[in-house]
Amino acid sequence: SAKCVQLLYQFAKYVVIENMKKNSKGTGIPFAEAVKLRPKNMYMAKARYRVAYNKLLQIFEKERFVMQEYKEKVR
């Protein structure tokens, strides 16, 4: 449902921001600046993005399948 997707989005956003905060500590770079920085290796950054995006799609597909199975069993 839309509420579930919104909840997952908010949680994913929270996790990414917390991870960025953690990774920018001790670097001497404030969090706001760290968000704007471009990675030195764009190939690796794009590869990580593709992996994360594909994983998120798999999660959504699995959720859709589970919900469909649940609805069929309820009938």
Q: 8-65 pLDDT, tens per residue?
A: 878 887 887 777 777 666 666 665 665 566 667 777 777 877 888 888 888 888 888 8
Calpha distance 11→14 (Å, rounded): 5
Query: What DSSP element (H or E) covers 43?
Result: helix 42-74
pTM score, whole prediction: 0.44
Could you tell me the end-to-end alpha-carbon distance of the chain, in angstroms, rounded to an integer?
A: 18
**pLDDT value of position 5:** 77
Return the domain boundaries, the chain.
2-74
Structure tokens of 24?
């920018």
Residue 28 confidence (pLDDT): 66
pLDDT tens digits along 55-64: 888 888 888 8
User: What is the widest separation between alpha-carbon atoms in the chain?
Assistant: 58
What one-letter code names the amino acid at 8? Answer: L
From CA 67, how far away is CA 52, in angstroms rounded? 23
| The predicted structure's pLDDT at residue 16 | 78
pLDDT at residue number 27: 60
